[in-house]
């Protein structure tokens, strides 16, 4: 199994819908990996939490909406679903149900942590590949 | 042939996905902001086939104002703009259609369906690859120059019309798309007619000036239309002659665009059997350009009449088939039949526009009631209340 497939399998094992997402990029799995590695910086959890605390509707919606788009496109279903639930709740009742919104942000954070571990695993696979290349 | 697509979207990932979907067949331009997008449009006016525009740029639905600004740029009013959204809210869809969006795409993009939709819109607006590459015969106006001239005149024409009704702009656009579909079908069905893809393009451009002569008439004559008594009725029909005069004695290098404009202005009320106006000519003596535009106008009118029917194109075809041999030629009816797909697209857009108008009308009434609860809402004379006199009174 080649290095790319090993990396993609790590994601598949973490409930990422890799195949549909790579199809969306017309099979360009290098580009897919390039983007998926950016998830930690795209989460903006601190900013979203700050917006929630300040009840800054514009910022809250903007960052959550972007996160949902990013996660949907890359097949990170757990985060996409939680972000969508947050947007639906926000549209229905703005900040009236803060506990629910906070709960959804916690879900996103937990998924993000699980995902960060997967990314570490992917980096290790890539480094191992680099080492083999150097030896050759 | 137009080879560039532009995506304006503040998400780098969405821009990348779009690029992957289209990079094999098009030059994909990418812009992250409205400013960059407008700059790219200006730099690529003659090569842009489609602009795909995210409704939510930065932090709000500013895509709408970008769409309007694109269509106001020199030479850009016909560039189809497709709106992109992750949340297809009905009021956004209606607003988009009302201000001239060609279509909507919903994120996440499905590659094959997106390729198909965009290809179909490009063909609808610019023709197939072969049609786009249709060269001008030597000594005749190039399609690019004709397009530029048409847009310039159109802008002036619409600026004269703007005090009448805002819907005229969308009517002209609709007429052009229908004429283009019919003319392309006619070329293919009847090559012996001598109509080429080049002529088909020019005739579709000319269709927008069919009613230009009405600008020379007093408003009450325009409003009276073809059904008013004499002598006003004859005066109304003078617009065909006045419109035709408008395009005579222009520079020869603008031919045959000017001739088509003159023919269309003169004979767009002329029925195939010789009835209608003006009295001269019948059957195949009537210029083909005018027959095409006359049929396109009927398609448009009938589609308005059947707007609440489930299958508008079927109803339109059925109604036209009853008029074959009298109002339109049997050949023209075949062209309508062969244009079913593009016509369905146009009628679908019309339906969206109608819904947008209905929503706005309800909002307007609601607003009027809430401002002055003791008075009934004023009779419509504003944005949506009046149908355009220029398009509303043509004889059937």
Question: Using the beta-carbon criterion (under 8 Å), do B59 and A62 form an inter-chain contact?
Answer: yes
- Bigger pLDDT: B57 or B336? B336
Q: Write down the residue that tokens 């990013």 correspond to.
A: A70
Assign B363 a pLDDT band (cuts: 50, 70, 90): low
What would the CATH number be for the domain defined by B4-126? 3.40.50.2300
Residue-wise pLDDT for B16-30, tens only, equals 999 999 999 999 999
> Collapsing DSSP states into helix, strand and coil, what is residue B30?
strand
Contact residues, B window 50-89, toward A, CB-based 8 Å cutoff: 56, 59-60, 86
Locate the domains of chain B by residue range.
4-126, 136-348+388-392
How confident is the model over B344-369, as a mean pLDDT?
A: 70
Residue-wise pLDDT for B129-144, tens only, equals 666 666 677 778 888 7
Pairwise CA distance, residues A90 & B196, whole Å: 57
| A117, containing H or E segment | helix A98-135
With 80 as the cut, is the pLDDT of residue B54 above it? yes
- 8 A C-beta contact, residue B175 and residue B210: yes
pLDDT at A93: 87
With 80 as the cut, is the pLDDT of residue A4 above it? yes
pLDDT at B385: 31
Percent of chain B with pLDDT over 90: 37
- Please spell the DSSP secondary structure of A61-115, one letter per residue: HHHHHHHHHHHHHHT-HHHHHHHHHHHHHHHHHTTTTHHHHHHHHHHHHHHHHHH
Cα dihedral B351→B354→B355→B360 (10° resolution)? 160
User: Of A16-25, B184-193, B208-217, B367-376, where does mean pLDDT reach its minimum?
Assistant: B367-376
Question: Using the beta-carbon criterion (under 8 Å), do B17 and A72 form an inter-chain contact?
Answer: no
pLDDT at B302: 93
Pairwise CA distance, residues B167 & B356, whole Å: 12
pLDDT at A134: 66
With 80 as the cut, is the pLDDT of residue A126 above it? yes
Residue-wise pLDDT for B77-112, tens only, equals 888 999 998 877 777 777 887 788 888 888 899 999
CATH number reported for the structural domain that contains residue A44 in this entry: 1.20.120
- 8 A C-beta contact, residue A52 and residue A95: yes
| Minimum CA–CA partner of A38 in chain B | B13
B7 interfaces chain A, CB cutoff of 8 Å: no
Instruction: Tell me the nearest-neighbour CA distance from A70 into chain B, angstroms.
Output: 7
Question: Using the beta-carbon criterion (under 8 Å), do B13 and A26 form an inter-chain contact?
Answer: no
Query: Domain range spanning residue A124?
Result: 3-128
pLDDT at B226: 80
pLDDT at B248: 84
Residues of A in contact with B106 (CB under 8 A): none
Instruction: Tell me the nearest-neighbour CA distance from A25 into chain B, angstroms.
Output: 5
pTM above 0.80, yes or no: no
- 8 A C-beta contact, residue B80 and residue B87: no
Q: Which fold, B136-348+388-392?
A: Hypothetical protein af1432 (1.10.3210)
Four-residue CA torsion sign, A71, A75, A79, A83: positive
Q: Which of B56, B85, B86 should we substitute to test contact with A (largest number of A Cβ atoms within 10 Å)?
A: B86
ipTM: 0.90
């Amino acid at each position: 199994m080649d290095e790319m497939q090993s990396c993609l399998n790590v994601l598949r094992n973490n409930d990422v819908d890799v195949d549909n997402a790579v199809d969306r990029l017309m099979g360009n799995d290098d580009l897919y990996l390039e983007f998926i590695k950016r998830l930690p910086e795209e989460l903006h959890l601190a900013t979203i939490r700050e917006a929630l605390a300040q009840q800054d509707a514009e910022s809250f919606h903007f960052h959550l909406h972007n996160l949902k788009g990013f996660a949907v496109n890359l097949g990170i279903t757990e985060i996409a679903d939680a972000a969508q639930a947050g947007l639906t709740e926000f549209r229905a009742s703005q900040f009236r149900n803060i506990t629910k919104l906070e709960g959804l942000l916690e879900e996103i954070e937990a998924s993000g942590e699980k995902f960060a571990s997967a990314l570490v695993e992917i980096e290790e696979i890539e480094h191992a590949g680099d080492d083999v290349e150097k030896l050759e | 042939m137009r080879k560039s697509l532009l995506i304006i979207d503040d998400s780098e990932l969405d821009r990348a996905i779009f690029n992957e979907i289209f990079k094999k067949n098009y030059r994909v331009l990418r812009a992250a902001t409205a400013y960059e997008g407008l700059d790219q449009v200006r730099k690529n006016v003659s090569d842009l086939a489609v602009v795909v525009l995210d409704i939510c740029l930065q932090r709000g639905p500013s895509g709408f104002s970008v769409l309007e600004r694109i269509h106001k740029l020199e030479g850009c009013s016909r560039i189809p703009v497709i709106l992109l959204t992750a949340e297809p809210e009905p009021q956004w869809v209606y607003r988009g259609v009302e201000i001239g969006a060609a279509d909507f795409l919903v994120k996440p993009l499905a590659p094959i369906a997106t390729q198909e939709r965009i290809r179909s819109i490009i063909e609808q607006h610019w023709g197939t690859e072969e049609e786009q590459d249709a060269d001008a015969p030597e000594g005749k106006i190039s399609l690019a120059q004709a397009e530029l001239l048409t847009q310039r005149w159109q802008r002036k024409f619409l600026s004269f019309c703007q005090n009448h009704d805002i819907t005229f702009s969308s009517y002209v656009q609709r007429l052009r798309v229908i004429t283009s579909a019919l003319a392309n079908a006619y070329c293919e069905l009847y090559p012996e007619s001598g109509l080429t893809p080049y002529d088909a393009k020019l005739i579709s451009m000319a269709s927008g000036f069919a009613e230009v002569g009405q600008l020379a008439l007093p408003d009450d004559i325009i409003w009276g239309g073809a059904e008013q008594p004499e002598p006003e009725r004859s005066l109304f029909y003078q617009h065909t002659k006045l419109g035709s005069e408008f395009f005579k004695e222009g520079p020869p290098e603008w031919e045959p665009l000017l001739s088509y404009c003159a023919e269309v202005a003169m004979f767009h009320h002329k029925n195939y059997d010789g009835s209608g106006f003006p009295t001269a000519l019948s059957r195949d003596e009537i210029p083909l350009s005018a027959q095409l535009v006359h049929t396109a106008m009927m398609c448009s009118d009938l589609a308005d009449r059947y707007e609440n029917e489930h299958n508008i194109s079927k109803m339109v075809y059925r109604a036209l088939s009853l008029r074959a041999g009298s109002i339109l030629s049997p050949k023209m009816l075949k062209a309508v039949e062969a244009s079913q797909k593009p016509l369905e697209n146009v009628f679908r857009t019309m339906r969206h526009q109608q819904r947008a108008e209905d929503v706005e009308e309800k909002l307007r009434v609601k607003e009027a009631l809430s401002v002055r609860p003791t008075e009934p809402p004023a009779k419509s004379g504003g944005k949506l209340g009046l149908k355009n006199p220029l398009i509303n009174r043509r004889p059937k």
